Amino acid sequence: MKANFIVGIAWLLLISSPSLAADENTWDSLSASQQTALAGFSEEWDSLPPLRRERLLRGAEHWASMSPQQRRDARARFSNWRGLSDERRDLIRDRYADYQDLPVEEQQRIRDNYLRFKRMDRERRQRMRDRYLNMTPEDRQRAREQMRDRPRPATRD
């Protein structure tokens, strides 16, 4: 009988712990700076799932650690993101998921190519864009394969 009682108490504690964790981050328990950063969620905050609250709090902490220039850049990126059509955003999400599924080496190759492209002068980048846009789908595929198969430059230590 004692064992059943102890198991019952343990079970109740396990069941109640998620609800206790949810109460840790009530709107009223947030600091003034957190409330300011998360003001858009004030009405619904206490009804959000605990995991969502945690993610939003981490985002607010990250925001607080950013420089003014980083915040301006983030606002601009978010504004651009919001201006995209739903279809375009879905395509970007799908491509990002594909990228995340690639091996680490392939991800690094893509980042290296992107950085090399960004270091080019504006006119050369525009010529490359124009050339790519004028390619047939088959030519684009061949170009991708050539980029993938070409030898990588040696890294400097």
> What tens digit of pLDDT does each residue of 86-97 get?
999 999 999 999
Cα–Cα distance between 55 and 60 in angstroms, integer?
A: 9
pLDDT at 157 (0 to 100): 44
38 with 30: CB under 8 angstroms?
yes
**pLDDT-wise least confident of 76-80, 115-119, 153-157:** 153-157
Q: What is the dihedral of CA 104, 105, 108, 110, to 10 degrees?
A: -110
pLDDT at 147 (0 to 100): 76
Q: Average pLDDT in the 54-79 region? A: 92
Cα–Cα distance between 69 and 75 in angstroms, integer?
A: 10
137: which 2 tokens?
A: 């789908």
Quote the pTM value. 0.55
Q: What is the dihedral of CA 72, 77, 79, 84, to 10 degrees?
A: 170
Residue type, 32: A
> What's the chain's average pLDDT?
83
In the chain, where the domains are located: 107-151
pLDDT at 1 (0 to 100): 57
Q: Average pLDDT in the 128-140 region? A: 91
List pLDDT tens digits, range 104-115.
Answer: 999 999 999 899
Q: Average pLDDT in the 127-153 region? A: 85
